[in-house]
Structures are given as structure tokens and as C-alpha cells.
């Protein structure tokens, strides 16, 4: 870049030159001085007033014309290197998560035993003189978790209630049923409650041996009517059958179930006698 300085330089140069001229004239006394007179010579001029003195002096006029152009050339600008350093810090965390293999879901499988309780309703030949009563059950069996067919044996005890019309014939009856069954587990809706629980619908049925005492019963007559015979104090044995079904929910080593079935036998002198227990129970594998 060039810059031109004119007015300020010119003024400074003119001032220096005027000062130098004044000094030069002031030092003229070093030369041979001309003879001068000490007597004043009055000089008058027409048109001047009395007493006015026109003095003749010396006027030096110095006119200096000078143009100084000062060009300052800036040195070539050194190359400017702008260095931008961008530091990107990338932190990588390599996390290796070792996922343990999924634990196998433990479902009930194999041999089991259990208990159940509920209520049993009389039907058939024992319906009229008896009412519903409490029932209890103990079972033992084998069932594969994913197998359809299993086996079960159980003992069911029932104490029928008293019917008011035949209370005179009752004497605290008891009924025992010994059942040997096949259990068919249907492969439907097994994951209704998730992968760790197994929902089951099953059917059950088989042989029943019934023992009873003090059980009043309706018997047939030759004319088609019936009458109730009181139960005897000794145990009476009858063979029969049972059939029914239930729902189960199993996990780990535990299974809960709700079932109902018919326990029946056919007396020789009476209509078929039936019991219908409604049981809620639990099995442990």
C-alpha cells in the first residue's frame, strides 16, 4: 500500500525555509559594514500630515513553491498463515456385555402329589335323602409337562349333608372313592399366561371303587315307586367309574387346578348313585 503526504510536508518545509532565511539575514553583520550617518534626515511626502514620518523599510518576500510527495511503500506483507486446529476428542467405550444364556424355563414334569378340597353334591339314588357336603382329596400321579397323556390315582372323601325330610333316616354318612384315572392334557392355549407359566385344559376319567356307610338311598320297587332305606353302620363296597375335567396353571415345581367330575356306581336294587365334587387343589412335582 502507498500513502501520499502533501499538505503537512509542504507546510513544514516552508516554515523551515523561512526560518533559515531570517537567520541568514541576521548574520549579515559579519560582512564589511557600510558607513552610516547618525543624523536623521527628515523625509516628507506630499499629502502627509505634519509630524508623519514615512519610513522606508526593506521588505523581502519569499515565495517558495515546493511539492514533496512522500510515498511510503509498505513492505510486502509477509504471508499470514492462519492455522486453525480443531481437536475432536472421540471417546469410545467398547462395552462387551456377556449375556448369559437364557435359563431354561422349568415346568412341572414327572411324578407329583397333591391335595384338594371343595364341596360334593349328591345326585341320582342319593339325591333325595342327602344334600351337599364337604369333600377332601389326596392325589398322586405322573404327568409330562409337554405330554398329553398322564396317569393319576386319588382318594376322595365326602360327608353328605342332611336333608330335613329324611333326617330320621340319617346317621352321619361317609363316602370314600378310590379312583385310578388317565389324564389327557390338551395342547391348547398353553401360553395364555406367558412363557414361564403353562396353562392346561385336561380331561380325566377311569375306574372308581366306592365305600360308604350310614348312607340313606332311594331304591326301586316293583310298582315303580321308591322308598328310602336307611344306611347301615357297616361299609358297603361298590364298583363304578368317574369322568370329568379341569383347568390347571403350572410353573416351576407347582401346579394349581380346578376340576369337577362325576363319581358313579350302580347299586343292585337302586338307580345309579352319583357324586359331583367341585375341587380346588395343588400339586407339587
Tell me the average confidence (pLDDT) per consecutive run of 10 residues in the chain, 285 residues long: 52 63 50 50 50 50 59 57 61 65 71 98 93 97 91 97 80 94 92 86 97 90 73 90 97 95 93 96 96
Q: Are residues 1 and 134 in the same domain?
A: no
| pLDDT in the model for residue 171 | 78
Q: Are residues 195 and 268 in the same domain?
A: yes
Share of the chain above pLDDT 70, in %: 62
Residue 115 domain-assigned (yes or no): yes
CA separation, residue 273 to residues 48, 175, 213 (Å): 179, 12, 14
Q: How far from the centroid of its chain's Cα atoms is residue 57's Cα?
A: 115
Q: Are residues 68 and 167 in the same domain?
A: no
Q: Are residues 115 and 19 in the same domain?
A: no
Residue 94 domain-assigned (yes or no): no
Q: Side-chain half-sphere of 187: how many Cα atoms within 13 Å?
A: 6
Distance between CA atoms of residues 168 and 217, nearest Å? 13
Q: Are residues 116 and 63 in the same domain?
A: no
Give the global pTM. 0.61
113: phi then psi, degrees, rounded to nearest 5: -140, 160
Q: Are residues 149 and 210 in the same domain?
A: yes
Q: Three cell numbers at 77?
A: 506483507
Q: Three cell numbers at 37?
A: 550617518
CATH, residue 232: 2.40.160.20
Residue 8 domain-assigned (yes or no): yes
Buried-state track 148-171, b at ≥16 Cβ within 10 A, e below 16: eebebebebbbebbbbeebeebbe
Residue 256 domain-assigned (yes or no): yes
Residue 254 domain-assigned (yes or no): yes
Q: Mark which of 14, 47, 74 sits at the end of a domain.
A: 74
Instruction: Return the C-alpha torsion angle 246, 144, 188, 263, nearest 10.
Output: -20
As beta bridge partners, residue 157 has 136, 176
Residue 49 domain-assigned (yes or no): no
pLDDT in tens, 170-226: 778 999 999 999 999 998 888 888 888 899 999 999 999 999 999 999 888 776 666
Q: Three cell numbers at 100?
A: 448369559
| pLDDT in the model for residue 39 | 52
Residue 1 domain-assigned (yes or no): yes
Q: Are residues 69 and 131 in the same domain?
A: no
Distance between CA atoms of residues 156 and 140, nearest Å? 12
Distance between CA atoms of residues 238 and 284, nearest Å? 31
Q: Are residues 160 and 239 in the same domain?
A: yes
Residue 50 domain-assigned (yes or no): no
Q: Are residues 184 and 238 in the same domain?
A: yes
Helix H or strand E encompassing 158: strand 149-158
Q: Are residues 124 and 70 in the same domain?
A: no
Residue numbers of the domain that contains 182: 110-284
| pLDDT in the model for residue 220 | 82
Distance between CA atoms of residues 98 and 110, nearest Å? 34
From first CA to last CA, the distance across the chain in angstroms is 102
Give the count of domains, the chain.
Answer: 2
Q: Are residues 70 and 129 in the same domain?
A: no
Closest to 114 measured CA to CA, from 263, 273, 7, 246:
246
Q: Side-chain half-sphere of 121: how many Cα atoms within 13 Å?
A: 6
Question: How many residues belong to the chain?
Answer: 285
Q: Are residues 63 and 137 in the same domain?
A: no
Rg (CA), the chain: 68
Amino acid at each position: 500500500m502507498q500513502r501520499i503526504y502533501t499538505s503537512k510536508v509542504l507546510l513544514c518545509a516552508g516554515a523551515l525555509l523561512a526560518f533559515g532565511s531570517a537567520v541568514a539575514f541576521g548574520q549579515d553583520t559579519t560582512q564589511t559594514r557600510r558607513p552610516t550617518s547618525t543624523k536623521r534626515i527628515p523625509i516628507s511626502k506630499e499629502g502627509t500630515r505634519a509630524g508623519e514620518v514615512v519610513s522606508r523599510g526593506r521588505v523581502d518576500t519569499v515565495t517558495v513553491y515546493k511539492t514533496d510527495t512522500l510515498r511510503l511503500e509498505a513492505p510486502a506483507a509477509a504471508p499470514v498463515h492462519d492455522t486453525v486446529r480443531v481437536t475432536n476428542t472421540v471417546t469410545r467405550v467398547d462395552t462387551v456385555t456377556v449375556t448369559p444364556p437364557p435359563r431354561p424355563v422349568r415346568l412341572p414334569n414327572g411324578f407329583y402329589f397333591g391335595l384338594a378340597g371343595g364341596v360334593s353334591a349328591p345326585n341320582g339314588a342319593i339325591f333325595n335323602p342327602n344334600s351337599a357336603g364337604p369333600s377332601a382329596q389326596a392325589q398322586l400321579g405322573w404327568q409330562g409337562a409337554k405330554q398329553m397323556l398322564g396317569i393319576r390315582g386319588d382318594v376322595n372323601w365326602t360327608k353328605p349333608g342332611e336333608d330335613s325330610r329324611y333326617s330320621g333316616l340319617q346317621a352321619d354318612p361317609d363316602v370314600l372313592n378310590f379312583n385310578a384315572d388317565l389324564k389327557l392334557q390338551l395342547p391348547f392355549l398353553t401360553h395364555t399366561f406367558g412363557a414361564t407359566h403353562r396353562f392346561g385344559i385336561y380331561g380325566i376319567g377311569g375306574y372308581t371303587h366306592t365305600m360308604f356307610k350310614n348312607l340313606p338311598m332311594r331304591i326301586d320297587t316293583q310298582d315303580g315307586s321308591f322308598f328310602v332305606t336307611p344306611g347301615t353302620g357297616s361299609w358297603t363296597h361298590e364298583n363304578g367309574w368317574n369322568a370329568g375335567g379341569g383347568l390347571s396353571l403350572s410353573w416351576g415345581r407347582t401346579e394349581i387346578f380346578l376340576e369337577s367330575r362325576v363319581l358313579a356306581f350302580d347299586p343292585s336294587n337302586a338307580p345309579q348313585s352319583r357324586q359331583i365334587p367341585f375341587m380346588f387343589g395343588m400339586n407339587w412335582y
